Amino acid sequence: MNSIQVKQEFDAPVEQVFDLLSKHATYNVAFAPVQVVRVKDAADPERPDGLGSIRRMGFGPIKPIQEQITYLDVNKRIEYKLIKNPLIKHHIGIIEFEELSPNKTRVNYTIELQARAPFVSKLILAQLKLAITLGFKKLAKSVA
């Protein structure tokens, strides 16, 4: 299984960083010009972007990528999976939050991916690693 890992430190409390990264709309800022919209709310009305929620990603009216939140442990971990994508056999994202001090948080973001076509997985993962690294740097500056 191919995977990548991105680590980023934020000069903010873990609660603030978790709150930021647990909202689908945050990824509009992190990964612009890619657009992210929630298309299905979670069962918990207090956390509509939480467990069971589904987001779509893409450009303008074309948003072919769908991800569903499959696990959420507040201030600790978020997991999601890609759904309904004929080109990807397996895609899991894991975002872990680690409090380094009261005002410093490390985020560890791991993605496992297996495309249906050979050699495509590494190419997709390389692009994702670059986008996530740049996006997380941008978000870290926004909370500092």
Domain ranges of the chain: 2-142
Percentage of residues of the chain with pLDDT beyond 90: 90
- Please give the pLDDT value at position 57: 95
pLDDT band at 9 (very low <50, low <70, confident <90, very high): very high
The answer on pLDDT for 35 being more than 80 is yes
Give the tens place of pLDDT for each residue, 50-88.
Answer: 999 999 999 989 999 999 999 999 999 999 999 999 889
Q: Helix, strand, or coil here: 122?
A: helix
Average pLDDT of the chain, as a whole number: 95
Q: What would the 3-class secondary structure string for the chain be?
A: CEEEEEEEEECCCHHHHHHHHCCCCHHHHHCCCCEEEEEECCCCCCCCCCCCCEEEEEECCEEEEEEEEEEEECCCEEEEEEECCCCEEEEEEEEEEEEEECCEEEEEEEEEEEECCCCHHHHHHHHHHHHHHHHHHHHHHHHC
Q: What is the pTM of this model?
A: 0.94
Q: Helix, strand, or coil here: 20?
A: helix
- Please give the pLDDT value at position 119: 87
Give the tens place of pLDDT for each residue, 115-141.
Answer: 998 789 999 999 999 999 999 999 999
**Domain over 2-142 is classified CATH 3.30.530.20:** yes
pLDDT band at 2 (very low <50, low <70, confident <90, very high): very high
